[in-house]
A and B are shown apart, each in its own frame.
Chain A
Amino acid sequence: MRITENLKFQMLMNTLSLAQKNYSLLAEKMASQKDINRPSDDPVGATRVLNYSSVRESIAQYQRNIENANAWMEITDTKLESVQELIAQAKEAGLNDQSSDTQQVLAQTVGSIIEELQSLANSKFGDRYLFSGSATDTEPFSRMILPVSASANTFDGSLYTGGTYTGASDKTFTVRIVNGGALGAATYQVSEDGGTTWQPDPAGTGPVDGTITLGDGLTLTFVDDGSNPLTAGDIFTVNAYESGKATAPWLGDPQAATNNTFGGTIVLDAASGIYAGETNKTFVVKFVNGGGAVGDADYQVSADGGKTWSGPYAAPWGNTITVDSTPGHEIVLEFTPSGPGDDLAENDLFYVQAQASWNYNGNGEDLSVHVGKGITSTYNVSGDEAFTDRGRGEVDLFAALETLKTALENGDRDLVNEQVNQLTAAQDHIREQIASVGARMNGLNISKENYQVLDEKMSSLISDTEDVDLSEIVVEFQMKETALQASYAMAVEIGKKSILDFLT
């Protein structure tokens, strides 16, 4: 082999640059403490690390979700426990010796229990109400202005209060039937001082259409859905509170979404009846198929706030749309354009809030979070489920307590006993809720612990894949360093040697 000068230096250069390359690669690994510093160092490993990191991010989110849900449920649990205690106290009041001396005191006790319960039911977690379903911005419960029918009454239809109480302080209205008969025939008297003085029915014609005026803005409505009519001597008591709400069903003003093209007015048509639903609903009308003028646009209707739709219903529809067609209780919206050319565009939305005849303002929806891939967990107890007898609920706790209070005031023992039974049922029901919350928390805690283990495993997998073995790399580094030094020494030595050193 003929070794030329260039070849000699080229070989030296190759050795040097190889030693340098190895050395700097290791130096990089030493500095970053990572085996994988770019995808090409280990494409499969790098992809895996990305995958593991995504999983860890998801786990972190699930853990955060579980923590939030657990915190929410812990508070729910505490509140429900307190509710249990309050119910027990109310029951005690109902079972106590009820002489004419004590019953007013007991009634006051129940009154303050109601207030406390009210504030428990309106508890918040952060700035969100615990018991309003998914409508967490809405205060779920208001004080009920509840009409109470005495236990001795013959009338067995239902009744509710209406209007807005404008009185300056709490007041008790008593209605006494003077002459019995069907609705529209019976006559009555009203007392504003608990039955001491009576004002006769001013018109003397009896409860017209079932609704009578109590005073201070309140009305009382009788509904003939039982078998026995109003009878002389039937007594009805209504405790009115300053901030209280009548129990009449209620329809909000129709609302238009802010993005709507339609600029006209929309009102409840006179043909609308009284809302007859059991629970609160949001009716929504959405225009589809490109919209059109009033009466000429196809539309869809939703009774659950816009989640599911019926229809589409084809034009023409004149100027009214019926969103709830329960006979006698229709909800009809009337559209009036602001002028010619004020058309309905596709996706124009209009909605009406319908409140059932109760004091609950929230809804029965679940709040849920992801606690795993494709797994959601419900963490709330909705107010209707915990405290009412509708939706998933069993006992109308507030109605029972208000009735108990009135019954105590009136010395109506039978009614008191009836309410005590109700409260026992309510206790049982709330105990179930507490148990359910506890079970859910347990489940989530187990998931959380599993996630902790999984997270540690993921993190060790990432470390196994991309981290360097320090002891190994230090030894290797020293080897490469020695090799580099040797290459330098050799390069210098060889470079120096030449035939010229020996020529004289």
Chain B
Amino acid sequence: MSGISSIFNIAKEALWVNQTGINVTGANVANVNTPGYSRQRAVIGTRSQYDIPGNMSQTGVEIISIERLYDKFLEFQMVEQSDQLGYTDERKDSLDRIEAIFNESNGGGLNELLSQFWNAWEDLAANPSGQTERTALAYTSQNLAAMFREYAGELYSLQQELNTGISQTVTQLNGYLADIADLNYKVIYGEAGQNNINDILDKRADLLKKVSDLVDINYVETSEGAINVFLSNGIPLVEVIRSRDLAVQTNAQGMYDIILADDPTKNVTSAITSGRLGGMLEMRDTTIAGYQGGLDDLVENIINEVNTQHAQGYDGYGNIGGDFFEPFNALMGARDMQVDTSIVADPNLIAASSTVNDDGENALSIGNLKDALIMGGTATFGDYYGTLVGNIGEAVAEAQRSLSHETSVMTQLQSQYEQVSGVSIDEEMMNLMKFQLGYNAAAKMVTVAEEMYTELLNMIQR
């Protein structure tokens, strides 16, 4: 037979459980807009009580746990997707900037200047002793060289920016890795209470996505609840409670390689093929380097061909033509294209003539280079440049397509994640009403029990 006091006990438990339910609902409502927050739920279970005098049992209630709702596999997919998204986003950003350099849609770019350059030679051929034509050619050539320098210079500074960005990203990554190791410690040696564990798990999941956004990783969860993080080639970055820093080291090209901070001989650059860091590395070492190579190639050929033909002719003073452009600078490439300073100072040094008697035939021969299939023996200078611009356009278009694809995949995953782990105000309001009702009912039980006691005592006094 159960006593009145046990009614008090059950009511007390019910009050407490419902109050906790309201607490959890409160936490969910409060965090409705918190990124990375997984909604929580109070898991309520029955609890049996035994009365000492008899065998009669009574069923009470208790909070078994505060559960964090999330989907482990979805989480894994999102981490995977983060590196793809980071990689494509980084590529698109850089390619957009490259495209802006090479955008000739409004004219006034290299293509137009190249045409003007060849045309200026034709004009000079028509009037080889004309000072106007000579000066015009000298100016046009300087403009052309300056435009090449500008294009190549902008590519170069973009490359330098990416290089700096790589170093900064490595620092950022190290911070995240250390945080994951720290959270691993807290999960394992859980000094924190139940509530805090959920919070820590949320934070750690969020950090994993951030790490993956930067670099492609693999991770496994150990039986004790820690998460171990590895680079794509298996080098561990976080092992239980210990994280391993990455560092940068300048290589022969003057660019940063990524190495292990505790083992500078371990170059892990090639293991990073995705994530923002992978995107930066690819842009810096392959894409931009490729476009630079294209410009350099074009400039080298223009300089060599023009100079060779120029040396076949004679200037206004009857001298053999000197250099028209300064010789190609293999180190600086297109960034150092210059018209020979003596030509700038005295356009009469332009060797327009094929004889010492000042005809215009050599200028005509140089003008002919416009249509010569010089680049690879199959393309004119203009064709080559057009193809370069087309390739850049194609790369940007491709990057845009893959970014919008990766983004929509991520959006899809996020909405799935929201469906599982997001907070719904509708749901929380219903829970609030539910727990409030439960609380009210439990309170009523206390009143009834109290009345029962009073009744009992009154019986004795009578």
Chain A residues near B (Cβ < 8 Å): 1-7, 10-11, 14, 32, 34, 36-44, 46-47, 49-51, 53-54, 57-58, 60-61, 64-65, 68, 126, 128, 134-137, 255, 257-260, 282, 284, 286, 304-307, 347, 349, 351, 363, 365, 367-370, 373-374, 376, 466, 498-500, 503
Contact = CB atoms under 8 A, between A and B. Distances in A.
Contacts of A136: 128-129
Interface in B163-200: none
Contacts of B317: 257-259
B123 to A, nearest CB: 8
Nearest to B354: A307
Nearest to B359: A134
Given A10-B414, A39-B99, A57-B112, A306 B129 contact: no
A500 B425 CA distance: 9
Given A39-B103, A54-B111, A306-B356, A4 B419 contact: yes
B387 interface: yes
Interface string B399-441: 0100000000001001100111011111101100000000000
A6 B33 contact: yes
- The B contact surface, by secondary structure, is helix
A210 B56 CA distance: 161
A466 B419 CA distance: 45
Given A11-B415, A305-B355, A347-B320, A5 B422 contact: yes
B450 to A, nearest CB: 30
B318 interface: yes
Interface of B: 32-33, 95, 99-100, 102-107, 111-112, 114-116, 118-119, 122-123, 125-129, 314, 317-320, 322, 354-361, 364, 367-368, 370-371, 382-383, 385-387, 389-397, 400, 411, 414-415, 418-420, 422-427, 429-430
B132 to A, nearest CB: 11
A5 B34 CA distance: 11
Contacts of A14: 411
B314 A499 contact: no
B415 A349 contact: no
Nearest to A134: B359
Contacts of A50: 104, 111, 382, 385-386, 389-390
A185 B393 CA distance: 90
Contact of B386 (A1, A34, A47): A47
A11 B112 CA distance: 46
Contact of A43 (B129, B394, B429): B394
B383 A51 contact: yes
B293 to A, nearest CB: 18
A376 B126 CA distance: 12
A498 B425 contact: yes
Contacts, number: 202
Contact of B418 (A6, A61, A65): A6
B429 A500 contact: yes
B360 A134 contact: yes
Contacts of A36: 105
In the complex, the 8 A-B pairs of residues with the closest C-beta atoms, listed nearest first = A39-B393, A305-B355, A4-B422, A43-B393, A47-B390, A40-B396, A134-B359, A57-B115
B119 A57 contact: yes
A38 B419 contact: no
A9 to B, nearest CB: 9
Contact of B320 (A38, A349, A503): A349
A4 B357 contact: no
Contacts of A347: 320
A258 B361 CA distance: 21
A255 B358 CA distance: 15
Given A58-B115, A65-B126, 7 more contacts: A6-B423, A39-B390, A41-B393, A61-B122, A305-B354, A373-B371, A376-B364
B390 A4 contact: no
B356 A258 contact: no
A135 to B, nearest CB: 5
29 contacts: A4-B423, A4-B424, A38-B100, A38-B396, A39-B394, A40-B95, A40-B99, A40-B392, A40-B393, A40-B396, A53-B111, A53-B112, A54-B111, A61-B118, A128-B127, A134-B357, A136-B128, A257-B317, A257-B319, A258-B317, A305-B357, A349-B320, A349-B356, A368-B361, A370-B368, A499-B426, A499-B429, A499-B430, A503-B429
A229 to B, nearest CB: 41
A68 B360 CA distance: 15
Given A14-B411, A58-B370, A374-B371, A42 B393 contact: yes
A54 B423 contact: no
Of A6, A36, A44, A134, chain B has the most CB atoms within 10 Å of the CB of A6
A459 to B, nearest CB: 13
A2 to B, nearest CB: 5
A259 B390 contact: no
A369 B364 contact: yes
B355 A307 contact: yes
Contacts of B397: 40-41, 43
B419 A370 contact: no
A430 B231 CA distance: 88
B317 to A, nearest CB: 4
A5 B390 contact: no
A134 B361 contact: yes
Nearest to A498: B425
Nearest to A60: B119
Contacts of A5: 32-33, 422-425
Contacts of A6: 32-33, 418, 422-423
Contacts of A370: 122, 125, 364, 367-368
A401 to B, nearest CB: 28
Contacts of B115: 53-54, 57-58
Contacts of A135: 357-359
Contacts of B357: 134-135, 282, 305, 363
A124 to B, nearest CB: 12
Contacts of A32: 105-106
A348 B395 CA distance: 52
Contacts of A51: 382-383, 386
Given A53-B112, A134-B359, A44 B415 contact: no
Q: Which among B95, B391, B415, B427 has the greatest number of chain A C-beta atoms within 10 A?
A: B415
A498 B427 CA distance: 11
A499 B425 contact: yes
Contact of A137 (B123, B129, B354): B129
Nearest to A21: B404
B436 to A, nearest CB: 11
B229 to A, nearest CB: 27
Contacts of B126: 65, 68, 369
Contacts of B102: 39
Contacts of A498: 425
Given A58-B370, A304-B355, A351-B356, A2 B111 contact: no
A503 B119 CA distance: 80
Contacts of A46: 104-105, 389-390, 393
Nearest to A7: B418
B268 to A, nearest CB: 33
